[in-house]
Chain A
Amino acid sequence: MSESKDITGSPDAKSKGNGRLSAVKEMPFFVKCALFWLVFIVSAAIYTRLDRLFGQALPLQDPFYQGFLFGGASPVEGPSLDHLLGTDILSRDNLSRLLHGAWVSLAVAITVVSFGIVFGGLLGAFVGYARGRWETLVMGIMDVVLAFPPLVLLLALVAIYKVRSLPVIALVFGVLGIPTYVRIARANTLGVASREFVQAAEAIGTKRIWILFREIIPNILPSLFAYALINAGFVIVIEGTLSYLGLSVQIPEPTWGNMINEGRRDIRRTILPIFWPGLFLTLTVVSLNMLGDWFQQRVAIRSSAL
């Protein structure tokens, strides 16, 4: 199996070898479903972006078009051929809005995860290897950032500074997410740095920075990535919460959170307007968590084989 190649401990994560496809084949059924859902969401996000780029030319209902104004639909319709998941309170197509909403969640998740792995991972690896005063300083700063209840900080930032553009919101999320990645990277670096192959490299006089990039970082990437998947889910929930409170991107941009908010007042009559975005949100997070778990198990297996 693929494990036999990794005696030295360098994982698949960076090497796009034949490990990957067979890994997918090995997945339990539910994890495969999770992967499928995530692929679907990512495709939806990309598709809707392209659609916007080409001025709504691709086959998909306009998420902003209100049928009750100019004809074509009425509010809170049930599923039909034209509107596969029905319409919302303002007679806009639900399916289209759900798919367009995927983009915001995805953008924020990808930003956070990228920031985390790249900046958090680098920083954590560096302080974990270098130790000393750098470590105290950086970890102290991380403590401070982590001491803020994240929701409170985000609320304050978004509400007070009124930042409503997706890039800025994603950036804020990204920065706030770094500390945990730093912690994980550092903890893992401490472990890896005491391993024989690192000590061997040091003994023969390899430059430390070379060791950092060639030996340490590749070995901590799997845990970072495993955490990243779970973190992505968490971030998507937080973004959903913020947009539920009306503090995310500006309307009429649909997001799963603000769709839940708008649907909430119909709750006495029908739970459907909440159900669909709630379902999409939950399924996406479930998928990320399942994938993250599975990945974590593989990482554990691999590192215990060392």
Chain B
Amino acid sequence: MGKILAARLARLVATLFAVSLLTFLLVEQLPGDPVTALLPPEALHDLETMERIRTELRLDDPALVRYGRWVTDALQGDLGKSYITDQRVADAIRDRIPVTMELALLATVIAAVLAIPIGAFSAYREGGRFDRVMSVFTTASLSIPAFVAAIFFIWLFTLKFNWLPSTGWNRITDKGLLANLKTAILPASALALAPLAINARLIRADMIGTLKEDYILSARAKGLRSRYILMRHALRPSSLTAITIFGLQFGALIGGTVVIETIFALPGLGTRLISGIYQRDVTMIQGITLFVATVYVVVNLLVDLLYLLLDPRIRRQ
């Protein structure tokens, strides 16, 4: 077990190293003079200022040296400063994490919570009407692009019914949980559609397999009620797959909230990244990309470890 952990950690470090290098180089290779992209246009006339900044930022150093400096700073929590907003990148990320995290978490939870009953019941009544209807629903849910769903939700719930706000974000610390949920529910639902469908299908497939197992048969023979069987005996083995999937989905969602945040004008990592891209805010793009990739990789690792811990079959090895 310890050896596996060590090996995984080593891979994680190697992956992060490569990710950070790639991110750095990707953004550094901006066509044209990097200083031009870093300064506000107002300052571009002044060659002396540009030279001064170039020396200050030590931009004349070779790329690898600058990369090394960036990484060592990053390890200490310093991701540099945005040249557009003068804000520390780490601060910007810290301010926005709660929004993106909550969004990803809420979407994962919605997808999980709704998928379990749908998947379980479809498995239980395999081939029945519920199963067939749900099958159509999940395929559709899987296929509608999140941004199309988001626009549709806004049209329906804000423009037509005026039940929910279509923009902005109420922080829990400011306005309480209910207000926060009002602003979070539409974007999270749009994000949850695809994971929900995937989860429901997986749980269904898994449970169909489980339900055919012998021990279920013996439980039934013992006279246990169906629902009881469903919950206690069939659900648990599937939960292993489920947890793995949920974890992976959460990790993927962290990087996938970009368009939804833009549509709903949420102050999350996604909107900051997009405006950073449009403004050529080099340090911000590097910082956010690195952060998101790190979270993704770490979450994957944690899920792997969790899987190892939970799956008795593997533990025994």
Instruction: State the A residues within 8 Å of B (CB).
Output: 30, 140-141, 143-144, 147-153, 155-157, 159-161, 233, 237, 240-241, 244-245, 260, 264, 267-268, 271, 274, 278, 281-282, 285-286, 289-290, 293
| Interface-located stretch among B90-98, B142-150, B179-187 | B142-150
Judging by beta carbons under 8 Å apart, are A148 and B139 in contact? no
Q: Which of A144, A149, A293 has the most CB of B within 10 A?
A: A149
Q: Within the assembled complex, what's the spacing in Å between the Cα atoms of A270 and B219? A: 56
Q: Which of A148, A282, A285, A293 contacts B19 (CB 8 A)?
A: A148
Say whether A149 contacts B140, CB under 8 Å. no
Q: How far is the CA of A245 from the CA of B146 in the complex (A)?
A: 13
Of B27, B136, B144, B285, which contacts A282 at CB under 8 A? B144
Interface membership of B258, Cβ < 8 A: yes
Which of A260, A268, A286 has the most chain B CB atoms inside 10 A of its CB?
A286
Q: Which 3 A-B pairs have the closest CB atoms?
A: A149-B255, A285-B143, A286-B143
Q: Which residues of B contact A244 (CB under 8 A)?
A: 147, 259
B140 close to A282 (CB less than 8 A): yes
**Within 8 Å CB of A281, what residues of B?**
145, 148
| B115-155 contact mask (Cβ, 8 Å, vs A): 1 or 0 | 00000000000000000000010011011111110011011
Query: Which residues of A are found within 8 Å of B54, using beta-carbon distances?
Result: none
Inside 8 A of B15's CB, which chain A residues have their CB? 140, 143-144, 147
Once A282-B140, A282-B143 are accepted as A-B contacts, the answer to whether A157 and B259 lie under 8 Å apart by CB is no
Instruction: Provide the residues of chain A in CB contact with B296, threshold 8 Å.
Output: 147, 149
Whether the pair B27, A144 counts as a contact (CB closer than 8 A) is no
Contact A286 B140 (CB under 8 A): yes
List of B residues within 8 angstroms of A153 by Cβ: 289
* A233 CA to B198 CA, complexed, in Å: 14
Could you list 25 examples of A-B contacts with CB < 8 Å? A30-B136, A140-B11, A143-B11, A144-B15, A147-B16, A147-B297, A149-B256, A151-B255, A151-B258, A156-B285, A160-B26, A160-B27, A160-B280, A240-B147, A241-B147, A267-B151, A267-B159, A271-B152, A274-B155, A278-B151, A278-B152, A281-B145, A282-B144, A282-B145, A289-B139
Which chain A residues lie closer than 8 Å to B254 at the CB level? Answer: 149
Set of chain A residues within 8 Å of B167, measured between Cβ atoms: none
* Secondary structure call for the B interface: helix
From 259 to 287 in chain B, residues with beta carbon under 8 angstroms from any chain A beta carbon are 259, 262, 273-274, 277-278, 280, 285
In the assembled complex, how far is the CB of residue A163 from the closest CB belonging to chain B, in whole angstroms?
11
Answer yes or no: B53 CB below 8 A from chain A CBs: no
Task: Known contacts A140-B15, A143-B11, A144-B15; decide if A160 and B151 are in contact (CB<8 Å).
Answer: no
Closest CB of chain B to A147's CB: distance in Å?
Answer: 5
**CA of A260 to CA of B263, assembled, Å:** 13
With the chains together, A144 CA to B273 CA distance in Å? 20
- Cross-chain contact B143 with A233 (CB below 8 angstroms): yes
B22 at interface by CB-CB < 8 Å:
yes
- Contact B159–A268 (Cβ < 8 Å): yes
A286 and B27 alpha carbons, distance in the complex (Å): 36
| Contact in complex: B278, A159 (CB < 8 Å) | yes
Contact A245–B262 (Cβ < 8 Å): yes
- Given A147-B293, A156-B285, A282 and B148 contact (CB-CB distance below 8 Å): yes
With beta carbons under 8 angstroms apart, the residue of A152, A159, A233 that contacts B292 is A152
**C-alpha gap A281/B148 in the complex (Å):** 9
Query: Complex: how many Å from CA A157 to CA B25?
Result: 12
Docked Cα-Cα span, A294 to B181, in Å, equals 38
| 8 Å CB contact of A278 from B148, B258, B297 | B148
Instruction: Please report the C-alpha to C-alpha distance between residue A157 and residue B29 in the assembled complex, in whole angstroms.
Output: 11
How far apart are A266's CB and chain B's nearest CB, in angstroms? 11
Known contacts being A147-B19, A156-B289, A160-B30, is A274 close to B151, with CB within 8 Å? yes
Bound-complex Cα distance A74 to B22 (A): 49
Judging by beta carbons under 8 Å apart, are A289 and B259 in contact?
no
Asked whether A155 lies within 8 Å of B159 as measured between CB atoms, the reply is no
Residues of B16-45 whose CB lies within 8 A of A: 16, 18-19, 22-23, 26-27, 30-31
A289 touches B143 (CB 8 A): yes
Choose among B140, B155, B262, B278 the residue that contacts A271 (Cβ–Cβ < 8 A).
B155
User: Which one of B23, B256, B259 lies within 8 Å of A245 (CB-CB)?
Assistant: B259
User: Which listed residue (A30, A149, A233, A241) contacts B293, Cβ 8 A?
Assistant: A149
Cβ 8 A contact of A151, one of B136, B142, B256 = B256
**Nearest Cβ on chain A to B201's Cβ, whole angstroms:** 9
Assembled-state Cα–Cα distance A30/B137 (Å)? 13
Pairwise interchain contact A155-B258, C-beta atoms closer than 8 A: yes
Q: How far apart sit A112 and B29, CA to CA, in the bound complex (Å)? A: 25
Q: How far is the CA of A141 from the CA of B11 in the complex (A)?
A: 11
A237 closest partner in B (C-beta): B145
In-complex Cβ contact of A290 among B139, B256, B280, B288 (8 A): B139
Q: B252 interface residue, CB < 8 Å from A?
A: yes
Q: Do A156 and B277 have beta carbons less than 8 Å apart?
A: yes
B145 close to A241 (CB less than 8 A): yes
Contact, CB under 8 Å: B22 / A144: yes
By a CB distance below 8 angstroms, the chain B residues around A285 are 142-145
B14 within 8 Å of A (CB atoms): yes
What 0/1 pattern do residues 150 to 172 of B give for CB contact below 8 A with A? 01101100010000000000000
Given contacts A143-B11, A244-B147, A267-B155, 5 further A-B contacts (CB under 8 A): A148-B22, A148-B289, A152-B288, A240-B145, A271-B152
User: Whole-angstrom distance from the CB of A148 to the nearest CB of chain B?
Assistant: 6
Residues of chain B within 8 A of A282, CB atoms compared: 140, 143-145, 148
What chain A residues lie within 8 Å of B300 (beta carbons)? 147
CB atoms of B139 and A293 under 8 A apart = yes
A156 to B140, CA, bound (A): 30
